[in-house]
Structure 1
Amino acid sequence: MPTRRQVLKSVLAAWAAPAILSATSLGQGRTAPSDRLSIGVIGLGSRGLNLIDDLLRASDAQITMLCDVDTIHYRDQPWGKGKAFGLEPTSEYVQKKDPTTRGLRTTKDFREVTAASDIDAVVVATPDHWHALITLDAIANGKDVYCEKPVTHTFAEGQSVYRAAHKHDVIFQTGSQQRSSPEFRQAVEIVRNGHLGNLREIEVGLSPGYEKPQGDPTVRQPPESLDYEMWCGPAPKLPYMRARHHRWWRGHRAFGGGVLMDWIGHHNDIAHWAMDGDNSGPTRVEAVGWTFPETDVYDTPVQYEIRCEYASGVKTSISSQHKNGALFRGDDGWVYVTRGKLLASNQAWAAKDFDAGPKKVYLSDNHMRNFLDGIKSRKACISPAETTHRSITPGHLGYVSHTLGRPLKWDPMAETMVGDEAAMQLLLKNEYRSPWG
């Protein structure tokens, strides 16, 4: 009997965009459930809900399973205030928004989603420390994956994920959605078409980290709605506090890499894209001027800079002191881009109808749509696993450089330190709490 993936591949032609428009529909232009991609969503916080809204707008996708270890919560707001997140309110929301959904299933165990035979693809919107294990399990079960950035928590996890995606020929999309925004694509094409002359330097501006507790730091019992043991999973089970949970978890390296690793997958990703360096990286990395909070609630940097040098001669500075976005400087001018804004030394370059030249990059105007189309066509998405792993590698290297107090020489093609075994061991360190190892 053919597998679900084989059946999916056999009907790709029937699922081309024009055919979808003429398919049998059920209200509001939705296609019949039998012709829709079946999606499981794991992680139902704020970002998970954003992605669910993207899926609900797609007539050829159906959310079949939802997973979260928290039944109901209100993110960083007091209990009962503001928008509700978690398993129960999200289930109600999906069924209200898409009345054609039948038999929507919910679970607190991601393995029920990744192993489900009727699921085509999995969306992972958990905290960073869960990204790799869930993604690898989904890939092992033949699922295509959309995973939020920074795609993985550690460097070793990143290698494991992109290698598994290659090996099993899955469609993978990282939530580095700036690649699907026109202002970033325009900036990249300005650089690639030589309008700046020789590219000399790039300033990658990220936000500062958490200087003080962002919520209540009182240690308390986890709420009854939350399976905190499962929420921690492979990470150390730190004492529960609101200041280190919903929204603010990334401030501690047990769960995330700080604001540095939160944002590097956005703006440094654009820097690599402009340099045509999606499968490469720097040759020298040095952490400079890192400062840390005066609280043990968090252990990630508040202010930071990572200086990188590339084989092309381009130098980059990834820093909390730069304006948020990416600034490219060349011999003949500059261009700066951030969300919703593009500025340039030549005002003509910044016009929305400016055609930068013949060197065009991958065109995607809708990140989730690009993923769904990739599932059906089997064409690689705009933000595949290795691309985003490479974009965040300077952040991982920056942590190692800071810890050891010295610059690092890096071979980007082999992904190894040059003459520094201690640094390589630190980079590859990857510890999981039992039984998740």
Structure 2
Amino acid sequence: MTPRKSIPRRSFLRQSAVAAGAILGAPMVLRSETLGNSQKAAANSRMGIGFIGTGLIAQGHLATFAGMRELQAIAVCDLWQQKMKDAKKLLAGKGATSVTSTPDYEELLQNPDVDLVCIATPDHWHAAVAIAAMKAGKDVYVEKPMTLTIEEGKAVLAAEQKYGRILQVGSQQRSSAHFRIAANLVRNGFIGEVKEVYCRLGEMPLPPEQEPVIPVPEGFDYDRWLGPTPYYGYSENRSKSKYGGGWRCYWDYGNRKFGDWGAHHYDIVQWALGRDDTGPVEFIPLGYEGATHHHYRYADGITVWRDKEPDHGHMIRFIGSEGEVHVSRGKLDTIPVDLKRHRFTDDDIQVYESKNHRQNFIDSVKSREPTICPASVGHRTGTICQLGAIAERLARPLLWDPAAQQIIGDTKAASMQDRPRRAGYELPTV
């Protein structure tokens, strides 16, 4: 990889906006007003935030966003009555004592005091809620992966562009110094030509066999929780909020480890390789013709391996012709060792710098400049996760055209770029 001159931040942001628009063949439109409700903004500089999904991953969002001086917690939404009560209690401890609650996200989006929303539902609800929020004039922080399917990703990106909203995907590793330094080292060619990348995703348990169907707990709208997915009788594990288990075990609601850790680590690979506006061209699942690991390849031959050893105790290992970069949450190592202490100058490429993922979202809402992980980035990373999942489910390789965003030569696989939706839960039109 040949080093290039650094890109000034303002130019980088402008180019990012253009690249985002290029994916769908249209320029990104950034509105001039700072907030969805500009009249309110003139009278009150604090922005109102609503929380849609208040379970496991949302706890950090509730506490952190509510503690920001720029924000005022307005409303919470969840299909579990108890989770809403717990969320209101948490927010009250942060000084937000007038928070409303509703199990209906559409009702929350109609509230004129809500300027932005934090979406922390299971993956199968991300796209519908995000699109509806942007149509309603709200800016959006949505947990990773941004969507469940490739076609949903295209729709969310189209909504971001059409309505001129700010969107941040919760791929917070981009706001970590260790991952940012790793990306800069790789981008500048300090390890030579990248040949391979190892990513540690880990294993996800299979759903329990023959789960007993039991009555739906009181205070939980299970049918709406299922939403667009097929109907199954209620079982305790299916809707459980649990890292490494619960609903994440099921293909219906996510893409298992691809949509879990893959959404984090493959995102960093895209960033470090400078490919946020494109993607790989081939996906090979574990076991196919003796493949010992799931892997995918870019057009130039760079191969990304899932769970391949040795990873030297790191989540991601970049292997170059002249060295290596190893990076995880909280640590960074390089070969040669001194490389990690490189002091970057104006002559080096330096990627978008964010030191706080949630604050970056709020800063972007105010400036109307793209976040570090807008819909264009979330969509491309999500596409890799979704294609990996399709290859695994079909147990055969896939060929992908990243320009046309289409699976090549496999009708069945191509049909899985989207999923059927239950009547009454159609994706909002853009």
Aligned residue number for residue 131 of structure 2: 136
1:7: how far off?
7.0
Residue type at the aligned position of 2:392: H
Q: Do the aligned residues in 2 keep the contact of 1:5 with 1:142 (CA within 8 Å)?
A: no
Aligned residue number for residue 58 of structure 1: 68
RMSD: 2.7
Aligned residues: 386
CA distance 1:320–1:395, change in 2 (3 Å): farther
Aligned residue number for residue 5 of structure 2: none
Between 1 and 2, higher relative CO (CA 8 Å, sep ≥ 6) is seen in 2
Q: Identify the match of residue 307 of structure 1 among 284, 289, 295.
A: 295
Q: Do the aligned residues in 2 keep the contact of 1:268 with 1:318 (CA within 8 Å)?
A: no
Aligned residue number for residue 226 of structure 1: 220
CA distance 1:321–1:262, change in 2 (3 Å): farther
TM-score by length of 1: 0.82
Q: Do the aligned residues in 1 keep the contact of 2:258 with 2:388 (CA within 8 Å)?
A: no
Aligned residue number for residue 381 of structure 1: 371
1:42 aligns with 2:52: yes
Aligned residue number for residue 338 of structure 1: 328
Q: Identify the match of residue 91 of structure 1 among 83, 88, 91.
A: 88
1:421: how far off?
3.4
Aligned residue number for residue 395 of structure 1: 385
1:358 aligns with 2:348: yes
Aligned residue number for residue 417 of structure 2: 427
SS at match of 2:181: helix
Aligned residue number for residue 29 of structure 1: none
1:278-289 matches, within 5 Å, as 278-289=276-287
CA distance 1:321–1:238, change in 2 (3 Å): farther
Aligned-partner Cα distance in 2 for 1:220–1:275: 48
1:124 aligns with 2:136: no
TM-score by length of 2: 0.83
* Alignment deviations for residues 357-392 of structure 1 (CA, whole Å, 9 cap, x no partner): 611000100000000111110010001112122112
CA distance 1:222–1:244, change in 2 (3 Å): same
1:11: how far off?
7.9
SS at match of 1:8: coil
Aligned residue number for residue 189 of structure 1: 184
Gaps of 5+ in 2: 1-30
1:217: how far off?
4.9
Q: Identify the match of residue 370 of structure 1 among 357, 360, 366.
A: 360
Q: Do the aligned residues in 2 keep the contact of 1:268 with 1:326 (CA within 8 Å)?
A: no
SS at match of 2:294: strand
1:3-82 matches, within 5 Å, as 6=33, 8=35, 34-72=44-82
Aligned-partner Cα distance in 2 for 1:210–1:320: 19
Aligned-partner Cα distance in 2 for 1:233–1:157: 15
Aligned residue number for residue 81 of structure 1: none
Q: Identify the match of residue 306 of structure 2 among 304, 307, 318.
A: 318
SS at match of 1:191: helix
CA distance 1:40–1:320, change in 2 (3 Å): farther
Q: Do the aligned residues in 2 keep the contact of 1:9 with 1:376 (CA within 8 Å)?
A: no
Q: Do the aligned residues in 2 keep the contact of 1:208 with 1:320 (CA within 8 Å)?
A: no
1:212: how far off?
6.5
* Alignment deviations for residues 221-241 of structure 1 (CA, whole Å, 9 cap, x no partner): 121121112211212232222
Residue type at the aligned position of 2:374: P
Aligned residue number for residue 261 of structure 2: 263
Aligned-partner Cα distance in 2 for 1:286–1:330: 22
Gaps of 5+ in 1: 16-32, 73-85, 291-302
